Amino acid sequence: MQRLPGVGPKTAQRLALHIIKRPETEVEALAQALMAAKKQIGLCKECFHLSAEPICEICRNPNRDTRTICVVGDSRDVIALEKTREFKGKYHVLGGVISPIDGIGPEQLNIQPLVRRVSQLQPKEVILAISPSIEGETTTLYIGQLLKPFTKVTRIAFGLPVGGDLEYADEITLARALEGRRELE
């Protein structure tokens, strides 16, 4: 249990004791649900988002705009972006970001399939929505260079979070917010 994310020794003990106290049928149901999830949930063959089917719900949806592909690091980012209800295109999940220190190079990520997909589908725009860490930046620039011959490549904006306060923003964010200013409509 301790190996689960966010679960330390104390929580692990609490969880284990809780499970021991429950009736056997309930524990069996949980065990089977875990096995079923592990067996059924794979990656979408097109976009590499988590999916119970070979092709995920988003890729199967005929109402989604195929002319825009949004590239993210992780399936969690797809979920976060879907919650905004702003994006109507398709996704491509890299499965991580380039991080030489962790031994993750471009080959370990779904970058080749992305290039193939872009060269085949010829979307109007590829939006890079990769978290702005140092590794994320590297990944954004790397993929940008690869895709620019095929299509327009954009990246999500840096700046102040909505509801944030100028005074509490770090200097780099503030500098980026200033640099990325836009004309008022």
Tokens of 26: 């309930």
Terminal-residue alpha carbon distance, the chain: 53
- For a copy of itself, the binding residues in 6-65 under the rule CB under 8 A are none
180, 159 contact by CB (below 8 A): yes
Q: Which secondary-structure segment (H or E) carries 26?
A: helix 24-40
Q: Which secondary-structure segment (H or E) carries 65?
A: strand 65-72
**39-47, 51-59, 79-87, 91-99 -> range binding a copy of itself (CB under 8 A):** 79-87
Shorter beta-carbon distance to a copy of itself: residue 36 or 79 = 79
**8-16, 27-35, 98-106, 167-175 -> range binding a copy of itself (CB under 8 A):** 167-175
**15-23, 28-36, 39-47, 70-78 -> range binding a copy of itself (CB under 8 A):** 70-78
Measured CA to CA, the distance from residue 176 to residue 160 in angstroms comes to 9
Candidate list 87, 115, 121, 146; residue touching a copy of itself; CB under 8 A: 87
133, 97 contact by CB (below 8 A): yes
CA 152 vs. chain centroid, Å, equals 21
Question: Does 115 help bind a copy of itself (rule: CB under 8 A)?
Answer: no
Question: Does 140 help bind a copy of itself (rule: CB under 8 A)?
Answer: yes
Question: Does 127 help bind a copy of itself (rule: CB under 8 A)?
Answer: yes
128, 156 contact by CB (below 8 A): yes
Smallest distance, Å, CB 10 to a copy of itself?
A: 24
- Helix residue spans in 22-133 (DSSP H): 24-40, 57-60, 75-84, 111-121
Question: Does 97 help bind a copy of itself (rule: CB under 8 A)?
Answer: no
Q: Count interface residues toward a copy of itself (CB under 8 A).
A: 55
Chain residues that interact with a copy of itself, rule: CB under 8 A: 72-74, 76-77, 80-81, 83-87, 127-133, 140-141, 144, 148, 152-167, 169-184
